[in-house]
């Protein structure tokens, strides 16, 4: 795992955007794994700017999002489809037919999960996966547990996740309690992974991730230590509980 600690959110976003731009220019047919939430919004803004400045072209790009709430329609402002359209897809020249986000209203959810993994495989897998991390160490909706799911699955959201995501909803009761999420295996099959985190509320999860020698289902992000091409880009606040020497362990 390679680690970059940037001064603040903007610097973190700039580094991540630069890495995605490099990937897209290296392979204009890249399959990108996308994430939602507050963390990647700055990165998406910079990708839109790069597109406007003609530095990147989305016309042959395919995207797969990690997750979607069950029960929400794509036009619901809290759905991840709406988030992606609003924060990225509507502003660039991606073909929306090439943007895949799990369908939270699929009739047969089990079959749908299997089909989602098959679809990713059919495009040769994900070249670059962008990930956030939950305050509890989750990635996508792989919540801390003794056993984690290998494949795309129906996830039950942790209390702490419902609480943190409630900031986007009118009330906590409106937050869906389940989601379709890529499993740990679906994520770990990506060629490259970039995980980003900012702010003090992520410091504890980052501290556990970087200071512990354990790979455990109780910290799903810890499995990323087993992947050969992971870059963690965080800001100083997210790094604030770590030992300075940790910087030299991951370079
Ligand atoms: P956030 O969510 O970017 O809104 O903090 C990250 C996550 O839960 O994976």
- 98 given a catalytic annotation: no
Ligand 1 centroid to Cα of residue 207, in Å, is 16
Residue 140 Cα: closest atom of ligand 1: 9
pLDDT for 116 equals 98
pLDDT in tens, 77-103: 999 999 999 999 999 999 999 999 999
pLDDT for 251 equals 78
Buried b (16+ CB within 10 A) or exposed e, 34-45: bbbbebbebbbb
| Residue whose CA lies nearest to ligand 1 atom number 8 | 134
pLDDT for 192 equals 98
pLDDT for 171 equals 95
Mapped onto helix, strand or coil, the DSSP state of residue 32 is strand
pLDDT for 159 equals 95
Residue 138 Cα: closest atom of ligand 1: 9
d(CA 130, CA 194): 5
- 67 given a catalytic annotation: yes
Mean pLDDT in the chain? 97
Q: Nearest to residue 181, comparing CAs of 67, 37, 84, 62?
A: 67
173-195 average pLDDT score: 97
d(CA 48, CA 202): 26
Lining ligand 1 with CB less than 6 A are 37-39, 132-134
168-190 average pLDDT score: 97
CA 120 to chain centre: 15
The answer to whether 20 and 244 are in contact (CB under 8 A) is no
**Beta pairing class for 128-131 and 31-34:** parallel
d(CA 22, CA 82): 26
d(CA 151, CA 177): 19
pLDDT tier at 234, thresholds 50, 70, 90: very high
Measured N-to-C along each axis, helices 9-26 and 41-52 cross at an angle, to the nearest 10 degrees, of 50
The Cβ of residue 169 has, within 10 Å, a number of other Cβ atoms equal to: 14
pLDDT in tens, 211-230: 998 999 999 999 999 999 99
195-218 average pLDDT score: 96
d(CA 114, CA 244): 43
Q: What is the dihedral of CA 214, 219, 221, 226, to 10 degrees?
A: 30
**Residues in the chain, total:** 251
142-150 average pLDDT score: 98
Assign 3-class secondary structure to 137-188: CCECCECCCCCCCCCCEEEECCHHHHHHHHHHCCCHHHCCCEEEECCHHHHH
| Alpha-carbon separation of residue 153 from 130, 187, 217, 231 (angstroms) | 19, 12, 16, 25
The answer to whether 70 and 109 are in contact (CB under 8 A) is yes
pLDDT in tens, 14-54: 999 999 999 999 999 999 999 999 999 999 999 999 999 99
Mapped onto helix, strand or coil, the DSSP state of residue 135 is coil
- Is the pLDDT at 243 greater than 90, yes or no? yes
């Amino acid at each position: 795992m390679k680690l970059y600690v940037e001064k603040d959110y903007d610097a973190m976003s700039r580094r991540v955007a630069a890495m995605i731009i490099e990937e897209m220019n290296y392979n204009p047919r890249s399959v990108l794994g996308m994430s939602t939430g507050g963390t990647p919004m700055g990165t998406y803004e910079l990708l839109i700017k790069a597109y406007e400045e003609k530095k990147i072209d989305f016309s042959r790009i395919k995207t797969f999002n990690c997750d979607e709430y069950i029960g929400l329609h794509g036009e619901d402002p809290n759905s991840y489809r709406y988030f992606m359209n609003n924060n990225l897809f509507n502003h660039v020249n991606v073909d929306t037919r090439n943007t895949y986000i799990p369908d939270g209203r699929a009739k047969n959810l089990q079959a749908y999960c299997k089909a989602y993994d098959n679809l990713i495989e059919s495009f040769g897998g994900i070249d670059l996966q962008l990930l956030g991390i939950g305050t509890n160490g989750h990635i996508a909706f792989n919540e801390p547990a003794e056993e984690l799911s290998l494949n795309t699955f129906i996830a039950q959201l942790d209390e702490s996740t419902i609480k943190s995501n409630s900031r986007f909803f009118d009330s906590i009761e409106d937050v869906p309690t389940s989601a379709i999420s890529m499993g740990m295996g679906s994520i770990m099959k990506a060629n490259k992974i970039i995980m980003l985190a900012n702010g003090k509320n992520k410091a504890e999860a980052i501290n556990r991730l970087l200071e512990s020698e354990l790979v455990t289902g109780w910290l799903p992000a810890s499995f990323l230590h087993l992947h050969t091409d992971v870059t963690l880009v965080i800001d100083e606040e997210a790094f604030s509980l770590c030992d300075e020497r940790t910087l030299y362990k991951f370079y």
